[in-house]
């Protein structure tokens, strides 16, 4: 396992941690200001959300690289299955791939969407999802974009996801059978899973991302009360051991949705604490 005690060159910021840079969320910093603040602190890179980028993908990507970092990823495709898919599903999904390519983000995250109307459970939805991902995979591959299926905590079943575990995501990867389709492991979603190490080992080089935060003992909101690393009960070292034991050596991306705590703080303070916690507890 990598030693980060004196080295945070693998640390990346997911801009959700600062409230997505958006007015009304966090401090509303511009992407440029976020880029400068991350570069000053020696981060590896940044993961953006589509709504922050607008039509400036090429410009923002170049700005990140000029600051000595990489765009590590982009969040995310539209839901690909379930009742909340957009009208022009494949058009919007391809547009998200195009944006990742323009940013030169190597990984585009997929939050799948929930149970398909007219079906029950998740098995049918996973099949429909696999079909749609299989259709998108070659388009993404032509643009050097990997697609990372992110399993979500089971409480997000119904409307947000049909994948609850890394094992679920691997089952869909097997159905799709494309080299650029893999899995993103997010502490918030998998911290409880006792099968995590074995499913990560099985995933091997299909692990495309590792997302950090913490699970608060007394969580107050299922979406917007993620903890800073070290403040909660997730066994962060054990999870990283599982991910890196499988061969993952990419960025560790801090992704904290926290409407009542971290989004209310000065982003500079959030970034400083993030660096310190990454070195000491992750
Ligand atoms: Zn995540």
For ligand 1, the distance from its centroid to the CA atom of residue 117, given in whole angstroms, is 25
Distance of CA 76 to the CA centre of its chain: 8
For ligand 1, the distance from its centroid to the CA atom of residue 214, given in whole angstroms, is 12
Q: Which pLDDT belongs to residue 53?
A: 95
**Stated pTM of the model:** 0.97
Per-residue pLDDT tens, the chain, 282 aa: give them. 999 999 999 999 999 999 977 667 778 899 999 999 999 999 999 999 999 999 999 999 999 999 999 999 999 999 999 999 999 999 999 999 999 999 999 999 999 999 999 999 999 999 999 999 999 999 999 999 999 999 999 999 999 999 999 999 999 999 999 999 999 999 999 999 999 999 999 999 999 999 999 999 999 999 999 999 999 999 999 999 999 999 999 999 999 999 999 999 999 999 999 999 999 999
For ligand 1, the distance from its centroid to the CA atom of residue 263, given in whole angstroms, is 17
Q: Are strands 70-75 and 252-254 parallel, antiparallel or unpaired?
A: unpaired
Q: Which pLDDT belongs to residue 160?
A: 97
For ligand 1, the distance from its centroid to the CA atom of residue 169, given in whole angstroms, is 14
Q: In sequence order, what DSSP letters do the residues of 53-100 get, joined into one string?
A: HTT-HHHHHHHHHHTT-EEEEEE-PPP-SSTT--TTHHHHHHHHHHHH
Q: Which pLDDT belongs to residue 80?
A: 98
For ligand 1, the distance from its centroid to the CA atom of residue 197, given in whole angstroms, is 18
For ligand 1, the distance from its centroid to the CA atom of residue 3, given in whole angstroms, is 22
Contact 103, 74 (CB under 8 A): yes
For ligand 1, the distance from its centroid to the CA atom of residue 166, given in whole angstroms, is 13
Q: Which pLDDT belongs to residue 121?
A: 98
Half-sphere exposure of 255 (CA within 13 A, CB side): 24
For ligand 1, the distance from its centroid to the CA atom of residue 150, given in whole angstroms, is 7
Structure tokens belonging to residue 131:
């079909």
Q: Which pLDDT belongs to residue 20?
A: 78
Class of domain 11-281: alpha beta
Q: Which pLDDT belongs to residue 25?
A: 78
For ligand 1, the distance from its centroid to the CA atom of residue 151, given in whole angstroms, is 9
For ligand 1, the distance from its centroid to the CA atom of residue 68, given in whole angstroms, is 24
Q: Where are the domains of the chain?
A: 11-281
What residues are paired with 107 via a beta bridge?
146
């Amino acid at each position: 396992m990598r030693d980060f005690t004196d080295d945070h060159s693998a640390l990346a910021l997911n801009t959700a941690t600062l409230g997505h840079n958006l007015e009304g969320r966090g401090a509303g910093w511009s992407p440029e200001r976020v880029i400068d603040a991350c570069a000053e602190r020696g981060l590896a890179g940044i993961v953006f959300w589509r709504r922050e980028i607008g039509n400036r993908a090429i410009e923002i990507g170049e700005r990140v690289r000029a600051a000595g970092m990489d765009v590590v990823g982009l969040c995310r495709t539209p839901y690909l299955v379930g009742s909340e898919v957009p009208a022009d599903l494949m058009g919007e999904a391809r547009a998200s791939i195009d944006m990742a390519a323009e940013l030169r983000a190597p990984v585009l995250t997929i939050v799948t969407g929930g149970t398909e109307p007219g079906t029950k459970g998740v098995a049918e939805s996973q099949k429909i999802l696999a079909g749609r991902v299989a259709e998108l995979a070659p388009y993404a591959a032509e643009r050097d974009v990997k697609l990372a299926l992110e399993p979500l905590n089971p409480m997000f079943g119904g409307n947000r996801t049909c994948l609850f575990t890394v094992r679920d995501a691997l089952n869909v990867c097997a159905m799709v059978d494309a080299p650029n389709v893999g899995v993103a492991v997010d502490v918030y979603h998998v911290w409880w899973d006792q099968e995590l190490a074995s499913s990560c080992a099985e995933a091997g080089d299909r692990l495309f991302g590792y997302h950090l935060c913490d699970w608060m003992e007394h969580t107050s909101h299922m979406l917007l009360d993620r903890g800073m690393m070290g403040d909660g009960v997730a066994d962060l070292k054990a999870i990283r051991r599982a991910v890196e034991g499988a061969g993952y050596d990419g960025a560790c991306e801090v992704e904290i949705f926290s409407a009542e705590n971290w989004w209310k703080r000065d982003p500079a303070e959030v970034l400083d604490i993030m660096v310190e916690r990454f070195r000491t507890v992750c």
